[in-house]
Amino acid sequence: MKQMLQICCKNNNISKEFPIGSSLLDIYYGFNLNFPYQVVSAKVNNRSEGLNFRVYNNKDVEFLDVRDSSGMRTYVRSLCRDIGRALGCCAYMPFLLRTASGTFDISEAHTIAELKELKEAGELQSVVVPVDEAARHLPELRLFNLSEKQRTLISNGASVECGQAEPGTVYRLYLENEFMGLALRDDSGLHITVWFGKEK
């Protein structure tokens, strides 16, 4: 018998059961939603995900079409093509300015010229972003008081038991205050999938 999870669709306030590991696209079809425009992504517990994202535990899901700014970010490259098709002509994008990527926005960006000036002034380090900031959209998980054996296991990519981590969730993992990388909790336990710790 397949294990099931509960999905609450915020678009129609209906809850349904789906097999664990269902993609958002499967879930979208399962709710028989009728959008006037193409659905391009969904908010899963208020975090935007693509339609290939798979769900492993109970979630609230809100599907987004091209009218939503969160959905548009996943769709803008092909929007010109579709407008051209609708008008019966060719269409292309002569210029694209990315104003945001993940949790970063353009106000945090610097030009090459600005970086050169900062380097010459010995101030380049002031604008260098710590590597864990690139994953600040992911939930943080800090582990304290691990045994030496547990530290060795998780540092070598092995799984350890971690009851505070939610299954199917990717975390920014810290061993106390040291950023180790990205870690996933699955059936085998918690293990690092992308290593950013110190060289072993």
pLDDT in tens, 177-186: 899 999 998 8
Question: Nearest 5°: CA angle at 1, between 186 and 31?
Answer: 80
**Average pLDDT of the segment spanning 37-56:** 84
Which of helix, strand or coil describes residue 66? Answer: coil
**Average pLDDT of the segment spanning 53-72:** 80
Taking alpha carbons only, the member of 15, 47, 11, 39 closest to residue 166 is 47
- pLDDT > 70 fraction of the chain, expressed in percent and rounded: 92
- Give the Cβ contact number of residue 192 at 10 Å: 21
pLDDT computed for residue 68 by the predictor: 62
For 8-22, 66-80, 161-175, which range has the lowest pLDDT when averaged over its residues?
A: 66-80
User: 192 and 180 in contact (C-beta within 8 Å)?
Assistant: yes
Residue 8: which residues within 8 A CB-CB, separation 6 or more?
14, 15, 58, 59, 60, 61
